[in-house]
Amino acid sequence: MNRTKKLTCIAIFGAILFFSCVFSAPTLLADELRLTPLLDTPKNRVYYNHLLESVRRAENSIKVLMATADFYPDHPKGPQDDLYDALVSAETRGVEVMLIFDRSDWSRDITKTNEQTASYLRNRGLAVKFDDPEVTTHAKVIVVDERVVFLGSSNWNYPTYTETYQSNVKLVSPKVASFFGNVFDSLWKKERYDKVKPPAYPEGPAIVPLLSAGGDRLYYKFAERLISGAEESIELVIFKVTRYSGFGSSKSNTLTEKLVEAADRGVEVRMILDVNNWSEDINQSNRETALWLLGQGIEKVKFDTRETTTHSKILLVDDESVLLGSTNWSYYSLDKNLEADLLVKDHPEVTQPFLIYFERLWKKSDIPSREELSGGA
C-alpha cells in the first residue's frame, strides 16, 4: 500500500474511532512492557481518567514530578478535586505519596500557583517539595508502584482537563519506572540527577525514556537523529517552535533546518502549530517559524484554531517512530529546562494511534492566511 492510500485509510479509521478506545488501548511490546497512548481532545479526558484509576489502585508508592499543579479553591468539586482526593486516600491507606513541583523565576504566576497547591496538599497530609529554583522543571511525570509511568504534555490544571489537545502515554514497565523513579529520588534528596545514566540512541526497535537536564539535552540529540534519518515522512504537532535570528547555532534553529534538509531530499514534511487567544508571545513565535518554513519551501504548515489550544508535542517519522513528551522547540526547552520525553523507535503498531491523532488535527487545522501570518487575525 502506498503512503497516500495508507493515510486515507488512517483518516477514515480515525474519523470512526477518534473518540473511542483506540487512544487508550494498550500495546503489548514485551512481557514486561505495555504502552497505552493517551491522546486528549477538548472534553475527552483520556489521560486524566487513566491516571485517576492508577492512583486509586496504587499499593506502594506514587511519585509526581509536575511543572504546574492548580486546585482552584474558589471552584470546588472540579475535576482536580477527584485526583487530589485520590492521592490523599492513597496516603491514608499506606501508600507513600511524594510530589515535586516547579518553583523558578521563569513564571512567578506558576510558582505562586504551585505554592498554593503545595500548601493545600500539605495541609491534607501529603509530602510536597519544590525543585531547585535555579532550574525550571517543565517535565510532567508520574510513577506508580515502581512499574507504571505517565508522561507527556499534560499539566494538572483545568484547561488541561477540559479544553486542550494533549499527548501522553501510560507505560507499564519496571525498567522505565526505575529510570524515572531514580530521577525523582535524586531530585527529592536534592542530589545530582546526572548520575542517572543517559541512554544511547538505539539502532533498532526500542522504547527509550529520555531526561533532558543540565548540559545533557537528550531530546534534542534524539530528535536530530530521527529527522536526519527520515526517508519518507515527518509529521510534527507542537505547541511552540521559536527561531532565533540572532543565534544561528540555536538548537531550535538546527531542528527546523533539519526539517528543510529532509524536505529537500524528498521527505514529506507536515507541521501543525498552535495559535490561541491567550498568548501573543506563542502566536508570534509560531507565525515567524511558519513564515520561515514557507520561505524555505515547506508548504504543509497549518495552525490550529484560536478557540482551542494544541499543547501536544509529537514528532512522527516514517510512520514507524514517535518522540513525545514535554519538550517544545524553544531555547529554554531545548537548552535549560528539565524535560521528560519518550522515544518509541521502529514500532509502527505503536505509532498508528498517533498518526490517527495527527490526521484528525490536520483535518481541523487551517493553512494560515496572510492576515494570520502578519498577526492581524
Domain segments of the chain as ranges: 3-373
What average pLDDT does the segment 119-144 reach?
Answer: 96
Average pLDDT over all residues of the chain: 91
Which of 364, 138, 150, 146 minimizes the C-alpha distance to 240?
Answer: 138
Residue 15 binned pLDDT confidence (cut-offs 50, 70, 90)? very low
**Dist CA 151 CA 318 (whole Å):** 23
Q: What percentage of the chain carries pLDDT values higher than 70?
A: 92
Confidence of residue 48 (pLDDT cuts 50, 70, 90): very high
The pLDDT of residue 87 is 98
- Beta strands (DSSP E) in 173-312 are 206-212, 233-238, 268-273, 301-303, 309-310
Side chain identity at 285, as an amino acid letter? S
Section 155-159 average pLDDT: 95
Of the listed ranges 24-33, 194-203, 211-220, the least confidently predicted one is 24-33
pLDDT of residue 264: 98
Residues 323-343: what's their mean pLDDT?
Answer: 97
Q: What letter would DSSP give residue 287?
A: H
- Entry field: residues in the chain: 377
What's the pLDDT at 18? 42
Q: What H or E segment, with its residue span, contains residue 374? A: none
Cβ-based neighbour number of residue 249 at 10 Å:
7
For residue 151, report the phi and psi dihedrals to the nearest 5 degrees: -150, 155
State the pLDDT confidence band at 75, using cuts at 50, 70 and 90. Answer: confident
- Write out the three cell numbers for 297: 519551501
Task: Among 4-18, 63-77, 110-124, name the most confident range.
Answer: 110-124
For range 274-294, the mean pLDDT: 96
120 vs 278: CA distance, rounded Å:
27
Q: Give 328's strand partners.
A: none
**Where do we find the cell 491523532?**
357
Q: In this structure, how many other beta carbons lie within 10 angstroms of the beta carbon of residue 281? A: 9
Confidence of residue 374 (pLDDT cuts 50, 70, 90): confident
Please state the separation of Cα 346 from the chain's center in Å.
Answer: 19
- pLDDT, residue 304, reads 96
Q: What's the chain's Rg over C-alpha atoms?
A: 20
| CATH architecture of the region 3-373 | 2-Layer Sandwich (3.30)
CA distances from 278 to 144, 222, 265, 283 (A): 34, 31, 38, 9
Tell whether the model's pLDDT for residue 266 goes beyond 50.
yes
Are the CB atoms for 174 and 154 separated by under 8 Å? no
Measured distance CA(273)–CA(225) in Å, rounded: 22
Q: Which amino acid is at 336?
A: K
Q: What is the DSSP letter of 23?
A: G
